[in-house]
Amino acid sequence: MLENWSPLQIVLLMVGLMSGILSVFREAMRIYRGEAIPQRSLFWHCILLAFILSMGILLWQKSNQITELQGQLDSLNKPQLSLTIDELGTGEMVEGNGSRNPGVFLIANLTNKGAPSIAEGWKLQITLLDGRSGEFLPTYMAPDQTISGSKNVVGNDWKMSMADALYAKANKPIQRGDKVRGILIFNTPSFKVEDMRKQGVKYTLRCTDVNGIKIQYDFTFTGTPVEHHYYPGLSPIPH
């Protein structure tokens, strides 16, 4: 810890102490003790005290620097995933057999500022205005399938590929500095579409990183339809 110190640092600290607080201490001792203390002895005792204090201050500064650098290193060696919902909509999900179920469709992204990590354990919690709450798992669909939306619901027609499912894209290591964007679909049979569309309904999307640390993003429904549009990282499909 001492090899990076310059003798000049110690000298400058000693000079500062001797001309500052220790000069006040010397004068106070002269007034209080008078000639009982030899001035030369008092001076050299102050020099020794200044040296000890200077070393203590430098040790404290270096210790803080090491702690800070260790914290920065730890942050780089641990995943730092942040989750964001780009777009969220509710409606009736039409199954392959023609049945209709209430559901939620969303586009979300994960950004990593730390060590590489996957994200898994996806869940969506919905809290309605009447206090009812439910937690739902994403619906799995084959990567070669597509989903579509109607302009009657979101203001424009759109189609997307399940190859962009976020649970699949985030199951591969997300490198530091990377952003992964994808789609998730949740069937919510216990809730009505009209209840989920009300202004103030809260949606909380959760997942976990490779170390089991939970990441979440809270989204409050505005109740105002927003047209779907393309987001970077998703596969555009012609209508």
Looking at residue 61, what is its pLDDT? Answer: 75
Tens place of pLDDT per residue across the chain (239 aa): 444 555 656 555 555 555 555 554 555 555 455 555 555 555 656 666 666 676 677 777 777 777 777 776 666 678 899 999 999 988 887 766 667 889 999 999 999 998 999 999 999 999 999 999 999 999 998 888 888 776 555 445 677 888 999 999 999 999 999 999 999 999 999 999 999 999 999 999 999 999 999 999 999 998 777 777 788 888 866 55
Yes or no: say if 111 and 170 are a contact pair by the CB < 8 Å rule: no
Q: Which tokens hold the place of 9? A: 């640092």
- Domain positions in the chain are 7-77, 81-220
pTM of the complete model: 0.67
Quote the pLDDT of residue 144: 86
At 69 the pLDDT is: 73
Following DSSP, what letter does each residue of the chain receive, concatenated?
Answer: --TT--HHHHHHHHHHHHHTHHHHHHHHHHHHHGGGS-HHHHHHHHHHHHHHHHHHHHHHHHHHHHHHHHHHHHHHHS--EEEEEEEEEEEEEEPTTS-EEEEEEEEEEEEE-SS-B--EEEEEEEE-TTS-EEEEPPPP--TT-EEEE-HHHHSS-EEEEGGGBHHHHTTSPBPTT-EEEEEEEEE-TTS-HHHHTSTT-EEEEEEE-TT--EEEEEEE--SS-------TTS-----
Contact (CB, 8 A) for 221 and 170: no
Given this model, what pLDDT does residue 83 score? 97
Strand-pair category, 179-187 with 120-127: unpaired
CATH class of 81-220: mainly beta
Per the CB < 8 A criterion, the answer to whether 174 and 159 are in contact is: no
What is the pLDDT at residue 66?
73
